[in-house]
Amino acid sequence: MQGGAPRNRGLLHGDLGYSYVNEQSVNGLLKDAFPITLSLAAGSAVLWLFMGLFSGILSAIRPRSMLDRTFTFMALFFYSLPTFVLGLLLLLFFYYELSIHGIRLFPAQGYVPLTQSPWEWARHLLLPWFTLAAVTAAAYTRLTRGSMLDVLGEDYIRTARAKGLTERRVILRHGLRAALTPIVTQFGIDLGTLLGGAIITETVFGLPGVGFQAVRAITANDLPIIIGVVVVATTAIVIANLLVDVFYAVLDPRVRLN
């Protein structure tokens, strides 16, 4: 091709190709979509970590109590609830029912960039955040509970208590830190997968993120975008797992990076 540079310079040069269906480069389309998916993933990850760790720790320090049984029931309930069902239920109660009574607290669909309006950004993402967090936190509740129960039975925990350390310090500094290794492993897998596109959540709430673009590309048989989404998702998973390996050295002093 003379008179100019070729349009596709190759994947090794960072060029994901050109979508003739959208008449736009794949790089430009994913560049616009990825911040939306990143906002969704980051907000929901903070929520599900807080919810999962909080309920899991309380269940572990009070096993077989009413609180433990309550958290167990809630974890099983949300874990068995499909994401699209929970998303539609939230839209029904917090958008439709409130709207017909003149209360417009949450929008039905759409996305507002953080740089444009932080309040509108959070308002558009709050329901999607909770949808993902509620379903994902259920697994973290059970994982945290099981890991904490194993750790709290170790000899060094009894030694820490015998030294007169407060129960809060024993639980958080000694118990939780040792129990976080499997939780961090699962977190890296979940976050990396989510950065590749939360297809169902983005579709239900009309968020034009990576997952939403993937659905459109599959429907339109737009192969360049499909390949681009796969590359982005794969890269996100690899980077997330590398960061998890690095974080192991922070959590466990027995792990050393060479």
Closest by CA to 200, choosing from 92, 107, 83, is 83
**Counts for the chain of helices (H) and strands (E), in that order:** 11, 2
The pTM score is 0.83
* Long-range contacts, stretch 208-211, CB < 8 angstroms, 24+ apart: 208/32, 208/33, 208/36, 208/111, 209/33, 209/34, 209/36, 209/37, 209/40, 209/111, 210/30, 210/33, 210/34, 210/36, 210/37, 211/37
Residue 75: CA count within 13 A, CB half-sphere:
23
Closest by CA to 62, choosing from 163, 3, 148, is 148
pLDDT per residue of the chain (258 residues) written in tens, 0 to 9 = 444 444 445 666 667 778 877 778 888 888 889 999 999 999 999 999 999 999 999 999 888 889 989 998 998 899 888 889 999 999 999 888 888 888 888 887 889 998 899 999 999 999 999 999 999 998 899 899 998 988 888 888 888 888 888 888 888 888 888 888 888 888 988 888 888 768 889 989 989 999 888 888 988 888 888 888 888 888 888 898 888 888 877 776 656 555
The pair of structure tokens assigned to 240 is: 């997330």
Alpha helices (runs of H) in 80-205, residue ranges in sequence order: 83-91, 98-100, 118-152, 155-162, 167-169, 177-195, 199-204
Tell me which architecture the domain covering 23-251 has in CATH.
Orthogonal Bundle (1.10)
